[in-house]
Amino acid sequence: MAKYIDLLRTHQEKSSSSLTAHKDNEISDESLLNEDDGIQETDTHTSDEQLLADEASSTIEDLSEHESLSNNTPPSGWLSECTQYTLDIFQHAQQETPTSIRPLEKCIGTLLTKLNASTEQDMIDALELNIAQQVQQIRHIHEDLGSLVQKSIMMMLYTIKTGQRLKLNYEELKTQVLAAMLHHIGMAQISSEIRNKKDKLSKSELESIRQAPQRSYDFLKACGVSDDSILQAASDASERYDGSGPKGLSGSEIAWSARLISVISMFEALIHYRPYRARLLPRDAIREIVKNHKKSFDPNMLKALIESISLYPVGTYVELNSGEIGLVVRIHPRLPLRPVVDVRMDRQGNPVPPRQVDLKEHPNIVVEKCMYEEALRDLGTSNA
C-alpha cells in the first residue's frame, strides 16, 4: 500500500507496481451496482496525514450554471450537452431502438481538442470540479436511467485521466472514452427493479445482469458501431485478468480496451453513490481494489489508474488543521498533499469569510480529513 502513496506523491514514478494481493477477485463491477459485496468503508474520522503514516471525490436544470469561460475550462454548456446526448442513447437502448452515437462522439472530440490546446492539468481540474458540482443533478436527470448516465460521465472523466497516463493519442483516447461511456448500455434493458434492488439478487436476476454485456454489444452493433475497441469493451469488460470472469478469458486474451474499461468500471462502482450505502472516497476505492482484487486487472492499467487518482480529488471537501473546511479546486501533480482549497466554513459548519488557500504556499496548513459533500450534512449545513 505504501507504493500507492508513493505514486500519489510523485505522479511521475516509472517503476512497475509490486503490490501484493490478499485474495483473488470473484466479483464483477455489475454485482457492485446492486450489493455491498462485503466492502468495508474507511473510517471517515481517520486523519489523512495519519493514513500516510499508517499506509503511506432533482433534474438537470442548467448544468452550465457553474461552468467557467476560462480558456482552460471545458466549453460553456459542454457538460449539459454531453449528458443529454448520453441520456438519449440510453433511452434508445431501453426502448431497443437503434440510434447514432455520432453526436456524442463529436461532443467528446470537442472536449479532447480543447484539452490538447490547453494547460492540461488546469483543464482536467476544471472538468473534474464541474462534474463534482453537478453529479447529483446528473443522477436525477432521469428517474430510471440517471444512475447509468452518471456512471457514463464518471467513466468519461477517469478514462481521460487514465488514458493520459497511458499516453494515448487523440484518436485512441476518443475511442476509449466512447467505449467507457457506452460499455454498460445493455443495463438500460435490464429491469429497473433488478438494477436498483437493495437485497441480494436471485439466481434469475443475476442471470439477467450477466446478459447485459451481450445486450450492450448487440445494441451498439445495431447502432452502426463497427470499432472493435468499443464493441469488445462492451462484451468483455466483465472479464478478469486472472481468468475469473464469466467467459474465462485471461491476460492478453482480453481485448486491450476491455482490460482498461474493466478496472475503471470497478473503481467507478466503488465511488458511485448508492441510496443504501455511502460511496467510497477515490483513495479508499483504490485501496479496496489493491487489497482484494488486484489479480483481476492488467497491472499496467491498474498502475495508470492509481497514478491518475489524487489523494484529495478536485470537487471533494477537506478539513484543515486551521479548523476550516473547504472545497478542493485544484491540485499540484507533484505535490498531491498540497491542494488549492476554497475555504467555505469552520468545522462546525458555520460560514466563514471565503478565501482561497494554496497549501503549497502555506506549509503550516495541512489536510486532516477528506470528505464528500454529503458528509457536510452531519455539520447541519449544506454546500452554499
pLDDT in tens, 10-42: 433 333 333 333 333 333 444 433 433 333 333
Q: Which residue has the higher pLDDT, 36 or 116?
A: 116
CA distances from 22 to 107, 204, 289, 290 (A): 41, 31, 10, 8
- What cell numbers appear for 258 in the block? 476491455
- The answer to whether the CB of 214 falls within 8 A of the CB of 236 is no
Q: Is 20 exposed, middle or buried (0-12, 13-18, 19+ CB in 10 A)?
A: exposed
- Reported confidence tier of residue 53, pLDDT bands at 50, 70, 90: very low
pLDDT of residue 242: 96
- What cell numbers appear for 223 in the block? 447502432
CA distances from 14 to 10, 80, 267, 287, 308 (A): 10, 37, 22, 20, 13
Which residues, 6+ apart, have CB-to-CB distance to 305 below 8 Å? 158, 162, 165, 263, 264, 267, 286
The pLDDT tens digits for 272-294 are: 987 677 889 999 999 999 999 99
Average pLDDT of the chain to the nearest whole number: 82
Rounded-to-integer distance, Cα 127 and Cα 131, Å: 6
Would you give the DSSP letter of residue 153? H
Q: Taking residues 111-138, what's their average pLDDT?
A: 88
Q: Taking residues 206-235, what's their average pLDDT?
A: 96
Q: Taking residues 248-267, what's their average pLDDT?
A: 97
Q: What is the three-class DSSP state of 366?
A: coil
Which residues, 6+ apart, have CB-to-CB distance to 251 below 8 Å? 241, 243
Per cent of the chain over pLDDT 70 is 78
Rounded-to-integer distance, Cα 12 and Cα 193, Å: 44
Rounded-to-integer distance, Cα 191 and Cα 203, Å: 15
The pLDDT tens digits for 99-111 are: 999 999 999 999 9
Highest mean pLDDT among 44-48, 93-97, 115-119, 125-129: 93-97
Rounded-to-integer distance, Cα 52 and Cα 4, Å: 10
- Reported confidence tier of residue 370, pLDDT bands at 50, 70, 90: very high
The pLDDT tens digits for 57-94 are: 333 333 333 333 345 677 778 999 999 999 999 999 99
Closest CA to 138 of 87, 95, 94: 87
Residue with cell 492499467: 301
Mutual angle of helices 102-116 and 78-95, in 10-degree steps: 150
Give the H/E segment covering residue 318.
Answer: strand 317-320
Would you give the DSSP letter of residue 224? T
Q: Cα–chain-centroid distance for residue 352? A: 31
Q: What is the 3-state secondary structure (H, E, C) of 268-297?
A: HHHHCCECCECCCCHHHHHHHHHHHCHHHC
Q: Taking residues 370-375, what's their average pLDDT?
A: 90
Burial pattern 250-274, b for ≥16 Cβ within 10 A else e, equals: eeeebbbbbbbbbbbbbbbbbbbeb
Q: For the chain, how many residues are written?
A: 384
Q: Strand order in 367-371's β-sheet?
A: 351-358, 335-346, 324-332, 317-320, 367-371
- 162 pLDDT exceeds 90? yes
CA distances from 322 to 123, 155, 271, 319, 367 (A): 29, 35, 28, 8, 9
pLDDT of residue 380: 58
- The answer to whether the CB of 25 falls within 8 A of the CB of 343 is no
Rounded-to-integer distance, Cα 9 and Cα 329, Å: 18
CA distances from 315 to 107, 134, 136, 309 (A): 23, 10, 13, 13
